[in-house]
Chain A
Amino acid sequence: MSAQVDRITVTRRIRAAPELVYGFFTDPALWVRWQGTAATVDAQPGGVLQVVMGPGGSGVAEGRFVELEPFERIVFTWGWASSPLSTLPPGSTVVTVHLRPDGDGTLVTLTHDSLPQGEREIHEAGWSLYLDRLVAVANGGDPGPDPSLRGVEKPPPRPTSDR
């Protein structure tokens, strides 16, 4: 078995201030607007982070907050208590979200460290999908219901907006 580990980085620009984006990573009601169907978000160092995803709650991501620097940086551990797609143990890897003011918006850079090679692709696809949803929500839109883990395997066709 390969011991090779890797880091993935996903970046998005959001047309909203860092203060607004920060809320989506530190409040349970705001978190589920872009990821999951239920969440425990105890945004303080050592606080629990749990996000329930997937049909019937089959995916449960778990970790703990490590560091919170208001409007600039959120660091939390990440793994899965249960998942049909990943075998990362709960809290076994580290995710860092950097927020940087960028004109009238915010540059969001999410890095996921220490991912075993076999987990890299699925997490990169997952974070890309969810940060796209975050962009839509933060821009005042509605990305629709969480496509959940099935969306990571095979993205559903985008519904056409009637706006």
Chain B
Amino acid sequence: MVVDPITAIAAPRRREILRLIWDRELRAGDIAAALPVTFGAVSQHLSVLRDAGIVDVRREGTSRYYRANLERIGPLAAVLEAYWTDALDRLAAEAEREEPMT
């Protein structure tokens, strides 16, 4: 299955995974532990991201380490980063609203 990068990042869960491996390497098991998903689902998402060419894998012994390939993500990287910043801003605004008036 050949996937283009835009299709690959269209899935919210894959964006979450990309964010976790944006600037560091993680194993599929580490990612599954950080998100409410199974190892199998993570391995499948990583496979799609790798097919799209936007995630690299490095083998060390029996382990595989995954990391986003920012160069290949190209202009989409800015879109994703803006998306995450917006989401953070919304979260902060939400938290402020819910803070009790004192």
Q: Is A85 an interface residue (CB 8 A)?
A: no
Bound state CA distance, A29 and B51, in angstroms?
21
- Total cross-chain contacts (CB, 8 A): 56
Bound state CA distance, A75 and B51, in angstroms?
27
Chain A residues with CB below 8 A from B39, complex form? 26, 43, 70
Chain A residues with CB below 8 A from B38, complex form? 23, 26-28, 41, 43
Chain B binding surface SS class: helix
Q: By the criterion CB–CB under 8 Å, are B41 and A16 in contact?
A: no
Q: By the criterion CB–CB under 8 Å, are A138 and B40 in contact?
A: no
Q: By the criterion CB–CB under 8 Å, are A19 and B1 in contact?
A: no
B42 to chain A, nearest CB (A): 8
Chain B interfacial residues counted at CB < 8 A: 14
Q: By the criterion CB–CB under 8 Å, are A25 and B47 in contact?
A: no
| 23 pairs from A and B in contact (CB 8 Å cutoff) | A15-B1, A16-B1, A16-B47, A19-B43, A19-B44, A20-B44, A20-B48, A22-B40, A22-B43, A23-B38, A23-B43, A26-B38, A27-B37, A27-B38, A30-B41, A30-B44, A41-B38, A41-B40, A43-B38, A70-B28, A70-B39, A70-B43, A139-B1
A contact residues vs B (CB 8 Å cutoff): 15-17, 19-20, 22-30, 41, 43, 70-71, 138-140
B contact residues vs A (CB 8 Å cutoff): 1, 28, 37-41, 43-44, 46-48, 50-51
